[in-house]
A and B are shown apart, each in its own frame.
Chain A
């Protein structure tokens, strides 16, 4: 029932603007795959090309191994969930859900039964005869999912469907979507600009910028081992140090920056190469005394309480603001504004990337 999707050298031009540039990705059957990127990065265009509303200018799209070029959306085994859901306001819920069956000529009794089954699946029993306007945001969300599932698609395409919900409901629906995906086994392709959603739900994430896929990896790799500055900067927060490689040795190297020389992992870099070091705030430790290495003296400028953690901002000698996050578990003392502290990081925990290494279209 579920199918894989292959994009081969897919490009899409709108006039002289290249919205998607040479996208290559192979999505496995039953996988939960997210495209993550800022608005205008081409992720929605990819979704519209898979669903058939936009044709690629170049390249091939295969669904279940079959080239779908020239097939209209109503001929493809995909179901799209729109950002605004696009439920039909003039039909009751059950007709909304069974619309895909109705246009295939399924009789009314079967359609009604199927609609009620799907309402059970999305945990909305008894809503069959309500109208769309009577439902809350989260309930509409579930109806949209049921309507897409009714046509038994091989691939579900979701275009930021949670963006209109409030935070609590969004987190709940994340888990819900993931569990529906697991139960049905359908391939999910999810479009979002919200890194939290992409990382929490997906088997794999494709990070996009300026029409190009920058990195495809599982969520941990995306976060821990970004391949370039864009991925590192877009996914999560960072303290960034600009510098150059000094004395590369086995696995480790020195990095000369404005804030002193740091020691960190050596990637595939040559001596003297300009690099950026990305250190996550949660990997930045705060202490009152200087450590042996990778330690920067700072003046605490702001302490913001975020609930689960406390973000401590400190200004270094050169004016750069660094952030360290400490867990709100009572183990560390929260520093006062203006106090002198040291921020340090583990040599194994920094991501080292060549400067300005963003793939551009």
Chain B
């Protein structure tokens, strides 16, 4: 604080602090508090707001468990509220996307951190960054075009004879979420790659050599020496990719099939289509809470401490 005063003088320092305080209070905390308050009030016509019906209750939150509907989970017939089904699907496919980004990122991160010549490293990292310069929306639409029925992927696969006739990729080959998962992986892979790269880079090369010298095969060295060292990076990358995936609205909107429904889309429907901000807000806060619980559970399962992620 005194450093700031000394460096920038009183006027500038106060201006900085006032701007930051304004941003935090007026643009982050207040809107959230307003939404939080609204989430406990019913959705009413304008004339009735502040009237006798406008009381606090948990009704909006309770809506989450309404509308039981049949649900086929891998061949098993279940009855579950529609929202629960949407929520669990979102969590499940976000987890799948997280695992795929990890599987893609780890070898690449290891290659960049320990194998590649330091001379060509900047070029490699630049090549990885270039797709990030294009907006997320354009990247999602690019995949939409690639996967479309008359698109280049089908044309190539039919052309080289791998497919007899084109496939409706976006409708899904395995599930209705295939295209969404592809889009999420493509959008967020670098958020996994760079934390892992950072943590592997900090590993002393002698550790890898010592392991090999003691007789370990390459996979044993990865399993016992490199992966444990990279764990904090993997954990923070995973939390980031999972939360971004679960919170993505754009990718599932562009690449979703008729069978897919992302929880963010449910919230959007309440907020924009039904104009019911109260229920939308309730769902949003419930969603944040549930996602935090899922992340906490995963961290407990993989024995990750909060301090590991902060590294």
**Chain A: residues with CB nearer than 8 A to chain B?**
51-53, 72-74, 78-80, 82, 84, 86-88, 90-91, 99-100, 102-104, 147-148, 151
Contact = CB atoms under 8 A, between A and B. Distances in A.
A51 B215 CA distance: 11
A86 B204 contact: yes
A102 B217 CA distance: 11
A-B interface, 6 closest residue pairs, ranked by CB to CB distance from nearest: A86-B206, A100-B214, A86-B210, A103-B216, A73-B213, A103-B220
Given A74-B217, A103-B217, A86 B209 contact: yes
A73 B212 contact: yes
B210 A90 contact: no
B215 A100 contact: yes
Contacts of A72: 212
Given A74-B216, A74-B217, A99 B211 contact: yes
14 contacts: A51-B213, A74-B213, A78-B213, A79-B214, A80-B213, A82-B209, A86-B207, A87-B210, A88-B210, A99-B224, A103-B216, A103-B220, A147-B214, A148-B214
B216 A99 contact: yes
Contact of B214 (A52, A53, A99): A99
A308 to B, nearest CB: 37
B225 interface: yes
Contacts of A102: 224
Contacts of B229: 90
Contacts of B228: 90
Interface of B: 204, 206-207, 209-217, 220, 224-225, 228-229
* Main DSSP-derived SS at the B contact region: helix
Given A74-B212, A80-B210, A100-B215, 8 more contacts: A53-B209, A73-B213, A78-B213, A86-B207, A86-B210, A103-B224, A148-B214, A151-B214
* Main DSSP-derived SS at the A contact region: loop
Contacts of B212: 72-74
A44 to B, nearest CB: 12
A146 to B, nearest CB: 12
B288 to A, nearest CB: 33
A99 B220 CA distance: 10
B217 A84 contact: no
Contacts, number: 58
B210 A82 contact: yes
Nearest to A99: B214
Contacts of A74: 212-217
A103 B210 contact: no
Contacts of A88: 207, 210-211, 224-225
A228 to B, nearest CB: 34
A119 to B, nearest CB: 17
B216 to A, nearest CB: 4
Which of B210, B211, B212 neighbours the largest number of chain A CB atoms within 10 Å of its CB? B210
Contacts of B216: 74, 99, 103
A354 to B, nearest CB: 42
A170 B209 CA distance: 25
Nearest to B214: A100
A103 B215 CA distance: 7
A102 B221 CA distance: 11
Contacts of A84: 204, 206
Contacts of A104: 215
Nearest to B229: A90
A87 B213 CA distance: 12
A72 B215 CA distance: 9
A21 B228 CA distance: 40
Contacts of B217: 74, 103
A104 to B, nearest CB: 6
B179 to A, nearest CB: 40
Contacts of A148: 214
Contacts of A73: 209, 212-213
Given A84-B206, A88-B225, A103 B213 contact: no
Contacts of B225: 88
Nearest to B211: A99
Contacts of A80: 209-210, 213
Nearest to B207: A86
A52 B213 CA distance: 8
Which of B213, B217, B225, B229 neighbours the largest number of chain A CB atoms within 10 Å of its CB? B213
B202 to A, nearest CB: 12
A78 B210 CA distance: 11
Nearest to A103: B216
Contacts of B224: 88, 91, 99, 102-103
A84 B213 CA distance: 15
Nearest to A52: B213
A175 B53 CA distance: 89
A73 B217 CA distance: 10
Contacts of B206: 82, 84, 86
B200 to A, nearest CB: 14
A53 B217 CA distance: 14
Which of A74, A78, A102 neighbours the largest number of chain B CB atoms within 10 Å of its CB? A74
A90 to B, nearest CB: 5
A53 B211 CA distance: 12
Contacts of A52: 213
Nearest to B225: A88
Which of A51, A52, A80, A148 neighbours the largest number of chain B CB atoms within 10 Å of its CB? A80
A151 B210 contact: no
A226 B130 CA distance: 62
A151 B207 contact: no
A264 B209 CA distance: 52
Contacts of A87: 210
